[in-house]
Amino acid sequence: MGRSPVPPSSNQSNLKKGAWTTEEDQQLINYIQNHGHGSWRSLPKLAGLNRCGKSCRLRWTNYLRPDIKRGKFSQEEENMILHLHSILGNKWSTIATRLPGRTDNEIKNYWNTHMKKKLLQSGIDPMTHQPRTDLFSCLPQLLVLANIKELLEHNQLAQNLQYFNHFLQPNTGLSTLLNRTSSIPLFQEENLNFVSEFPVLEDDQESEEIRQFPVGTSNVTQPLHQEVSIMNLETSNDFKHVGHCQGQSAFTSVNSSPSISAVTWNPIPPLIDNTTTTTTNNSGSLESGSTISYSGGDGGASSYNWPEFLFEDSFKLDQTLLEMS
DNA sequence: AAAGGCGGCAACCGCATCACG
DNA sequence: CCGTGATGCGGTTGCCGCCTT
Q: Is strand B within 7 Å of residue A55 (CB)? A: yes
Q: Please give the Cα distance from A266 to A269 (Å, whole number).
A: 7
User: Tell me, what's the pLDDT at A200?
Assistant: 31
Q: At what angle do helices A173-180 and A139-154 cross, to 10 degrees?
A: 160
User: Tell me, what's the pLDDT at A186?
Assistant: 29
Q: Please give the Cα distance from A185 to A196 (Å, whole number).
A: 19
Q: Please give the Cα distance from A279 to A309 (Å, whole number).
A: 10
The answer to whether the predicted template modeling score (pTM) of the entire model surpasses 0.95 is no
Q: Please give the Cα distance from A148 to A142 (Å, whole number).
A: 10
Q: Is strand B within 7 Å of residue A7 (CB)? A: no
Q: Which residue is nearest to nucleotide B16 (CA to C1')?
A: A2
With CA atoms as reference, report the closest residue to A249 among A289, A287, A205. A287
Q: Is strand C within 7 Å of residue A26 (CB)? A: no
Over chain A (325 residues), the average pLDDT of each successive run of 10 is 33 72 87 85 86 87 84 86 85 86 88 84 79 60 59 53 49 43 33 30 32 30 31 33 30 30 30 30 30 28 31 37 37
User: Tell me, what's the pLDDT at A147?
Assistant: 61
In this structure, the number of other CB atoms found within 10 A of the CB of residue A221 comes to 22
Q: Is strand B within 7 Å of residue A154 (CB)? A: no
Question: Whole-number Å distance, CA A19 to C1' C13?
Answer: 13
Q: Which residue is nearest to nucleotide C13 (CA to C1')?
A: A18
Sequence-distant (6+) residues with CB within 8 A of A131 are A123, A124, A125, A137, A181, A183, A224, A242, A243, A266, A267, A268
Question: Whole-number Å distance, CA A255 to C1' C15?
Answer: 63
Q: Is strand B within 7 Å of residue A166 (CB)? A: no
User: Tell me, what's the pLDDT at A93?
Assistant: 84
| Cross-strand pairs, A92 | none
Chain C bases having any atom below 7 Å from a protein CB: 4-12, 15-16
Q: Is strand B within 7 Å of residue A69 (CB)? A: no
With CA atoms as reference, report the closest residue to A74 among A240, A235, A242, A247. A235
User: Tell me, what's the pLDDT at A58?
Assistant: 87
* 3 state DSSP class of A219: helix
Q: Please give the Cα distance from A93 to A62 (Å, whole number).
A: 12
Question: Whole-number Å distance, CA A165 to C1' B5?
Answer: 44
Question: Whole-number Å distance, CA A85 to C1' B21?
Answer: 39
SS3 track for A89-138: CCCHHHHHHCCCCCCHHHHHHHHHHHHHHHHHHCCEECCCCEECCCCHHH
Q: Which of residues 100-119 of A touch strand C (CB under 7 A)?
A: 104-105, 108-109, 112
User: Tell me, what's the pLDDT at A133?
Assistant: 62
User: Tell me, what's the pLDDT at A2?
Assistant: 27
Question: Whole-number Å distance, CA A38 to C1' B19?
Answer: 15
With CA atoms as reference, report the closest residue to A126 among A138, A135, A118. A118
User: Tell me, what's the pLDDT at A37?
Assistant: 84
Question: How distant is the alpha carbon of residue A28 from its chain centre?
Answer: 43
